[in-house]
Amino acid sequence: MMMNPSLKNLSKISSGTIIEGKWHHNRYTIIKQLGFGANGIVYLARHDSKQVALKMSDNGMSVTSEVNVLKAFAKVQGSALGPSLLDVDDWETSEGKVSFYVMEFIKGPDFLSFLKQKGPDWTGVMVLQLLADLQLLHDNGWVFGDLKPENLIVTGPPARIRCIDVGGTTMQGRSIKEFTEYFDRGYWGLGSRKAEPRYDLFAVAMIMINTAFPQRFTKKSGGLEEIMEKVKQSPELTRYEKIISYALSGKFLSANEMRMEIIQVHLPDAPSRSNRQQKTAKQPPFPRQPARSPVKKAKSSTSVQTRKQFNKGKKKFAALETITIILVISLMYFFYIYSQIT
């Protein structure tokens, strides 16, 4: 293999350094380091008076591989899956060649810092946003892979979650490229490392758990019971208990399915409020139904209606109220999506 400057040296680039690409001749002035991980180092840099994020690696192939994913994401219409790609090039230093790519700078705290600042009221909202993005990502044949709080940034206001680091992003059906043990279903003995939507949904559940256990408890022998025991200890997670258990055991077939159940939990009349115990006891398991798109408001509200009637029987008044609320939320969501597209 060719000798490239080591990762250690790459992490020492001082502010003011100008990085000029060999192929496209764009010039980037380093401002500061944003972070680093197993694959490379990310710097904040200036280009044409705009701030950008520049990721370099001692491994040229990992740069190429991530760029491939970002290029594929760029083809997905009306979405912001991952940071947008701005440039790919090589930087020639006295020690050798370094591959780098330049992307949109996503400004904001990482997921856990954001929640620490804002409190647990925001967990649900953020997870809903994340699941909407994942649905789109899955619809386009990908699995995010290395999903964890460090790879999620919350920008805004208005608060909007964004995935960064596509190093683990894998085509569905292949083997997961990169993962982090705590968020990996294989590590917990709860599934394979084949890239499929449910792999990401497992990680989403672990991210929810991580918000209540910032220290990330260690694995003993693995398995669902062990994780759920922890979940039961946290009052913040009580309302999501069933959803987490479903996601961990691979029972949600799509991100949309999981999303719908989280919306349920946040409804005013949700079981998490009044006399929760009694109701959960009677509640049937989540209905097995095909994935619904949140935009198709008519369809989703009817299925919710069925469900409500099933649960409550005669409480028609409450049901009517709920339907109205869902309709309003769906409409708002519809306009939100609409405004994102245009």
Partner 1 sequence: MKTGTIRQILLITDGCSNQGEDPIAMAALAKEQGITVNVIGVMEHDVIDEQGMKEIEGLAMAGGGVSQIVYAQQLSQTVQMVTRKAMTQTLQGVVNKEIQQILGGGRTVEDLPPEQRGEVMEVIDELGETVELDVLILVDTSASMKQKLPTVKEALLDLSLSLNARSGDNHFSVFVFPGKRKDVEKLLDWTPKLESLTSIFAKLTTGGITPTGPALREALPYFDKKRSLRSFLNRDDESFFEESV
Count of residues that bind partner 1 according to CB under 8 A: 32
SS3 122: helix
Residue 245's nearest CA partner among 233, 232, 257 is: 232
Least distance CB 82 / ligand ADP (angstroms): 8
Beta strands in the chain (DSSP E): 18-20, 27-36, 41-47, 50-57, 85-93, 96-104, 142-143, 152-155, 160-163, 170-171
Structure tokens at 62: 């990992």
Cα 64 to Cα 13: distance, rounded to the nearest angstrom? 22
Stretch that binds ligand ADP, among 34-42, 185-193, 253-261, 334-342 (CB under 6 A): 34-42
Is there a contact between 55 and 103 (Cβ–Cβ < 8 Å)?
yes
Find out whether 190 and 202 touch, Cβ atoms under 8 Å. yes
- Read off φ and ψ for residue 302, nearest 5 degrees: -65, -40
Q: Is 146 marked active-site?
A: yes
Site string for partner 1, 37-76 (x = CB under 8 A): -x--------------------xxx--xx-xx--x-----
**Measured from the CB of residue 156, what is the shortest distance to partner 1 in angstroms?**
32
- Selected range binding ligand ADP among 121-129, 159-167, 241-249, 323-331, rule: CB under 6 A: 159-167
State yes or no: residue 83 binds ligand ADP (CB under 6 A).
yes
Would you tell me which residues interact with ligand ADP (CB under 6 A)? 34-40, 42, 53, 55, 83, 103-106, 150-151, 164-165, 167
List residues forming the annotated binding site for ATP.
55
- Residues classed as catalytic: 146
List residues forming the annotated binding site.
55
Would you tell me which residues interact with partner 1 (CB under 8 A)? 1-2, 23, 38, 59-61, 64-65, 67-68, 71, 88-90, 97, 99, 173-181, 186-187, 192-195
